[in-house]
Structure 1
Amino acid sequence: MTDWKEIASYAVILIIVLIAAQHLNVVVSGSMEPAFYRGDIVLVEKADFFGIHEFDVKDIQKGDVVVYDAKWFNQPVIHRVIDIVSINGTTMYMIKGDNNKSPDPYYVSPDQIQSKVVTIGDNLVVIPKIGYLSLWLRGL
């Protein structure tokens, strides 16, 4: 017979894995090279993780790398904030992939920003190449 401590330990492990999975994003394109590459995984903090605000979008600065809901693409985009402007009293972000010639086609509003890539010092937290399996499974 399975003991309740064993069941509880499995439940704790499952919760930890699910929380960790929500804080990892697989990079699907080369638009941010050389900061990170297709198939890399980036560690993110969430603007709203089940009601917990791990960072305040108002604190986003030029140079931060964010994950946002793009109006021009059907998946979240991971790009760098290159400018912050006020348009009709609303803070808006100009965002661009490091490897792209032009900024993304539309300004990004604060409510579009889902996550921010974690940095340690000035270094983005990147786990190289292990996201390829996820890309292959999703057909990307």
Structure 2
Amino acid sequence: MSGRQAQARRAGAYLTTVATEAGYDVRPRQGGRAQLAALTGLSLTTISRTLDGKTLPLPSQLTTWATVLDLDHRRLLVETGHIPEQRGTQDANREANSAPLSPDEAMDAWGITDPIIRKTLSGTIVQAIRLQEELDSSDELRAVVGGA
């Protein structure tokens, strides 16, 4: 079994457990899978393949699962093997300290591994941060000049 298959099974087992605990009967043809499909906007096939451990959900899909099942998104990423336990703990501590994520930390949390995508996204994030800082500076200047 490949690492990805094992991760898909791990994710399916965890999501089956938390969905059942949330009150969904996710056994085949019991209605819980259809309810989850309707609530998440994912297809019934995607829900079934995910719960059966045949398909590894994307991080963006896990965000939807977390919202519907009222779960902590980071915990869900850890439990489904998208980020390691230590990573989840560091991120939880970072959130408590309100420190911003670096572009690399954000891409790691989102599961973006392709080097070309990472380079492109990192440049875009850095540019967006600079633009925001410029806007914030000009707002502060206007507030000072307008208040004088």
Greater C-alpha Rg? 2
Structure number with the bigger relative contact order (C-alpha 8 A, sep ≥ 6) is 1
TM over 0.5: no
